[in-house]
C-alpha cells in the first residue's frame, strides 16, 4: 500500500480522513493510527516467514490499545506479552491463548498462575530462580507447563544502550551454559515441559548480522539438547527489527527471513517471531496544537500542547521523529525547536526543524509514533493522557477516550485523619 499519511491538496490525511478534521473533532494531543498500514505490516511479516511453520506474535508492549490488538487478532496474529495486564488485553482482543508467549524478567507468582490458568503456548523463562518458581507453581496447580529458556547470547545489536537486551551486561535472559543447566533441570521435572528456546537481543536494530549471530548460538544449544534427549518444538527469534525514522536504511521482514531461514533448513519445528515497532511504528502519528511561538536565545520555539508525558522517546532516547504541518505545504520555512508544556528542559519533541511560520491554533503531526508512544505515556504534571483514534478508509474511530481530570483522581483516597 502507499504511505498511510499523505498530503492531498495541501492537507495531511490519515488514509481518507484529513488530520485537521480529526484534531477538531477529538482534540489534541491525540494519537492517530492507520488501520490499513497496521494490517499491511502484519501481512508483510506473515508472508516473509510463510515457507516455515510460524507464529507472528505481536509484541504487545509496543502499543497495547485494544483496537490495535483486535485488528491484529482478526488477521491471525499471536502475542508476546510481558505482564498479566498484557495477557488479559491480548485475550480480550481475541488472540488465542495457544498463540501467546509470556516473557519478562520479573514475573510475579500471580502472573505465572494466570498464564497457567489460560493455558498459553509457553513461558519464556529468564533465570534459574524463575524456573524453580514456575516448577513450584505448576506443581501447586497439579499441571505440566510448557516453557522455553531465554538465552542471552552476548551479541552487540548496535542500538541505543537502553534498548539493547542481548549483551552480557544486560539483565535479560541466561548465558548459554546457564541455559543448558536450566534445560536439564526442566527435563527432570514432572511439571515442566521444555518445548522451546528464546532470544530477544534488542529494539530498533538496523542490521541483520546480530540476528544471525544470536540465532547461530541458539541453534548450537538446540543441537546439544537433542544429543541429551531434549527435543524442542519452537525457536523464538524475538523481535527488534528497526524502522526508518530519519530516512535511514533499514532491513525489512523479507531481509530478516532471507538471512535466518537458511540457518533453520534442518529445523523440524516452528518459529516464533515477535515484532512490535515494525508492526505499529509507522502506523501512528501524534497530533499537537501550536499554543505559542516565542523567540529563543539560539532559535525560536514552537510551544505545543503535547509533551514528554505524551511522547517520552525524544527525552528518554534522544529519539528523532519527523514533524510536519497538518495544513499547508509550500510556505517559507524557518528553523525552530518544538517544545512541550512540561516543566523539564528535556521536554523537547524536536530540535532544529525546518517548518513554516505556523500560527497559534495550527496543528503539527509527529510522525512514526505508533510504537512506544501512548504505551509509555504518563500523567506527569497531572496531565491526562491523550485520546487515541483509528483511521480506516474515509472514517475515523475513537479507540480510547481522552482521560479527564476526574480520572486522574479516581483511584486516590484521603485517609480519615486528614478529613
pLDDT recorded at residue 343: 95
CB 164 within 8 A of CB 175: no
For the chain, give every domain's residue range.
5-33+281-409, 96-275
Please name every residue paired with 365 in a beta bridge, in sequence order, or none if there are none: 287, 324
pLDDT recorded at residue 395: 97
pLDDT recorded at residue 273: 97
Q: Sort 142 into a burial class: Cβ within 10 Å, 0-12 / 13-18 / 19+.
A: exposed
Q: Which CATH number fits domain 5-33+281-409: 2.40.37.10, 1.10.10.10, 3.40.50.740, 3.30.1480.10?
A: 2.40.37.10
Mean per-residue pLDDT pooled into runs of 10, the chain (419 residues): 83 97 98 98 97 97 98 98 98 98 96 98 96 98 97 68 54 87 97 96 85 92 96 95 87 95 92 97 98 91 98 94 89 93 96 93 97 97 98 97 96 95
Nearest to 389 by CA among 85, 37, 69, 68: 68
Nearest to 389 by CA among 92, 5, 40: 5
pLDDT recorded at residue 328: 78
pLDDT recorded at residue 172: 75
pLDDT recorded at residue 332: 84
CB 170 within 8 A of CB 213: no
Buried-state track 104-137, b at ≥16 Cβ within 10 A, e below 16: bbebeeebbebbbebebbbbbbbbeebbebbbeb
CB 322 within 8 A of CB 369: no
Q: What is the 3-state secondary structure (H, E, C) of the chain?
A: CCCCEEEECCEEEECCEEHHHHHHHHCCCEEEEEHHHHHHHHHHHHHHCCCCCEEEEEEHHHCCCHHHHHHHHHCCCEEEECCHHHHHHHHHCCCCHHHEEECCCCCCHHHHHHHHHHCCCEEEECCHHHHHHHHHHHHHHCCCEEEEEEECCCCCCCCCHHHECCCCCCCCCECHHHHHHHHHHHHCCCCEEEEEEECCCECCECCCHHHHHHHHHHHHHHHHHHHCCCCCCEEECCCCECCCCCCCCCCCHHHHHHHHHHHHCCCCCEEEECCCHHHHHHHEEEEEEEEEEECCCCCCEEEECCCCCCCCHHHHHCCCCCEEECECCCCCEEEEEEECCCCCCCCEEEEEEEEECCCCCCEEEECCCCCCCHHHCCCHHHCCCCEEEEEECCEEEEEECCCCHHHHHCCCCCCHHHC
> Is the N-terminal amide bond of 112 cis, ω within 30° of 0?
no
The span from the CA of 395 to the CA of 21, in Å, is 11
> Residues with catalytic annotation?
343
CB 63 within 8 A of CB 89: no
CB 107 within 8 A of CB 88: no
Give the three cell numbers for residue 234: 519452537
pLDDT recorded at residue 185: 98
Query: pTM of the prediction?
Result: 0.94
CATH fold label, 96-275: TIM Barrel (3.20.20)
Amino acid at each position: 500500500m502507499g504511505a498511510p499519511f499523505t498530503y492531498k491538496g495541501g492537507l495531511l490525511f490519515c488514509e481518507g480522513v484529513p488530520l485537521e478534521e480529526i484534531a477538531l473533532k477529538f482534540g489534541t494531543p491525540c494519537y492517530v493510527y492507520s488501520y490499513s498500514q497496521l494490517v499491511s505490516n502484519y501481512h508483510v511479516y506473515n508472508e516473509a516467514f510463510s515457507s516455515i511453520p510460524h507464529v507472528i506474535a505481536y509484541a504487545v508492549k509496543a502499543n497495547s490499545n485494544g483496537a490495535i490488538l483486535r485488528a491484529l487478532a482478526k488477521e491471525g496474529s499471536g502475542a508476546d506479552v510481558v505482564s498479566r495486564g498484557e495477557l488479559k488485553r491480548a485475550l480480550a482482543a481475541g488472540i488465542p491463548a495457544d498463540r501467546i508467549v509470556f516473557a519478562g524478567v520479573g514475573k510475579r507468582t500471580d502472573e505465572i498462575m494466570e498464564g497457567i490458568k489460560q493455558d498459553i503456548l509457553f513461558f519464556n523463562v529468564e533465570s534459574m530462580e524463575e524456573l524453580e518458581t514456575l516448577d513450584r507453581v505448576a506443581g501447586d496447580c497439579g499441571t505440566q507447563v510448557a516453557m522455553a529458556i531465554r538465552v542471552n547470547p552476548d551479541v552487540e545489536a548496535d542500538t541505543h544502550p537502553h534498548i539493547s537486551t542481548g549483551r552480557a551486561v544486560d539483565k535479560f535472559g541466561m548465558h548459554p551454559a546457564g541455559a543448558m543447566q536450566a534445560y536439564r533441570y526442566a527435563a527432570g521435572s514432572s511439571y515442566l515441559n521444555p518445548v522451546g528456546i528464546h532470544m530477544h537481543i534488542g529494539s530498533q536494530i538496523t542490521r541483520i548480522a546480530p540476528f544471525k549471530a544470536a540465532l547461530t548460538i541458539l541453534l548450537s544449544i538446540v543441537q546439544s539438547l537433542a544429543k541429551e534427549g531434549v527435543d524442542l518444538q519452537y525457536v523464538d527469534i524475538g523481535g527488534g527489527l528497526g524502522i526508518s525514522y530519519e530516512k535511514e536504511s533499514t532491513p525489512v521482514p523479507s531481509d530478516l527471513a532471507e538471512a535466518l531461514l537458511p540457518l533453520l533448513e534442518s529445523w523440524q519445528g516452528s518459529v516464533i517471531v515477535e515484532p512490535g515497532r515494525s508492526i505499529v511504528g509507522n502506523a501512528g502519528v501524534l497530533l499537537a496544537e501550536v499554543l505559542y511561538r516565542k523567540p529563543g536565545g539560539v532559535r525560536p520555539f514552537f510551544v505545543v500542547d503535547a509533551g514528554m508525558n505524551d511522547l517520552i522517546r525524544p527525552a528518554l532516547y534522544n529519539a528523532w521523529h519527523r514533524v510536519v504541518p497538518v495544513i499547508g505545504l509550500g510556505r517559507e520555512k524557518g528553523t525552530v525547536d518544538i517544545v512541550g508544556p512540561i516543566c523539564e528542559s528535556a521536554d523537547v519533541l524536536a530540535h532544529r526543524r525546518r517548518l513554516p511560520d505556523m500560527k497559534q491554533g495550527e496543528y503539527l503531526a509527529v510522525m512514526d509514533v505508533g510504537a512506544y508512544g501512548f504505551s509509555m505515556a504518563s500523567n506527569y504534571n497531572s496531565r491526562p493522557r491523550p485520546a487515541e483514534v483509528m483511521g480506516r478508509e474515509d472514517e475515523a474511530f475513537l479507540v480510547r477516550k481522552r482521560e479527564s481530570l476526574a480520572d486522574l483522581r479516581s483511584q486516590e483516597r484521603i485517609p480519615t485523619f486528614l478529613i
